[in-house]
Chain A
């Protein structure tokens, strides 16, 4: 079970959280302007990398806040957490936050 560092509550068991899929998928500002393929891309297509992925989590049994998290899908190491609306940290990751 992951130990997730909630930016508001600190480290908590994964069981307190709900997974929200890949992060940084913004809903298009003008959906009507998208063709079917572009819309389907937004709705359904997600990265499934072997390695680093930015994903969303919500501390549903805690502060109920959403946040972003950078995780290695191979080792399950969590490299960073950051707030919604912030860009993923780049470059040197200082290990587990």
Chain B
């Protein structure tokens, strides 16, 4: 369904995405992109919806190349992939009623004819847990969670095959977040939705995605079935990430990274990018960049993967 091949995205001196390949099958399916700031996960999401142009590599959805398509094919591409952004406060035009925003999406792709627009808007709103009469409201008259639901409804209005969710709940209160996540889960089943879930929150990714790719400084460091990666992480960065997540307990998360100056994205460390902070780093890690290879049923890029696994 979605194929990303050797994607490279450069912004001036910074290589935000450096040779990433991943895929999402036909729905219902979810791939989580996990990483911290500077990992490139957001850039990948934006590239998939053509908000950012790649420096190299290929992005195809349903066989259509995102950056080679023209006119009709481009229009069809736009219809097949949509994005939901992080910030509910700026994701909707404050001067437009919510129903009008959804109508705009419907009309852009002539999803239904004029006579049925209002009905469809109503259906979309109820499908995301709102009421049809919310269509007359302005964004500021809705709560953050409701606005995010509208954003989801708008994205779904064009009947996309793939949804990119960029930190869809990070700006929401935790109780609201729980409900929106339930919504996404339900929509996934109802519409056989395929999505790319970008998040720094491992628990959310585990809840919604069968597959996960962990990114560090523009490269994939681990990629495989979510259960495996979360319960028995191989890559030291994944281990550190997992260990750093605060749990509802009286113990503090233990940092498993060595103290080092934060990496400069314009000049990443030589060899393995994680080596300055890696507790298992050896000489080879400083010189040679590790390649993605299969270890214990998933892909990982680490010279000491087997040792890391044994240490778990």
- Say if A and B assemble together: no
Q: Which residues of B contact A (CB under 8 A)?
A: none
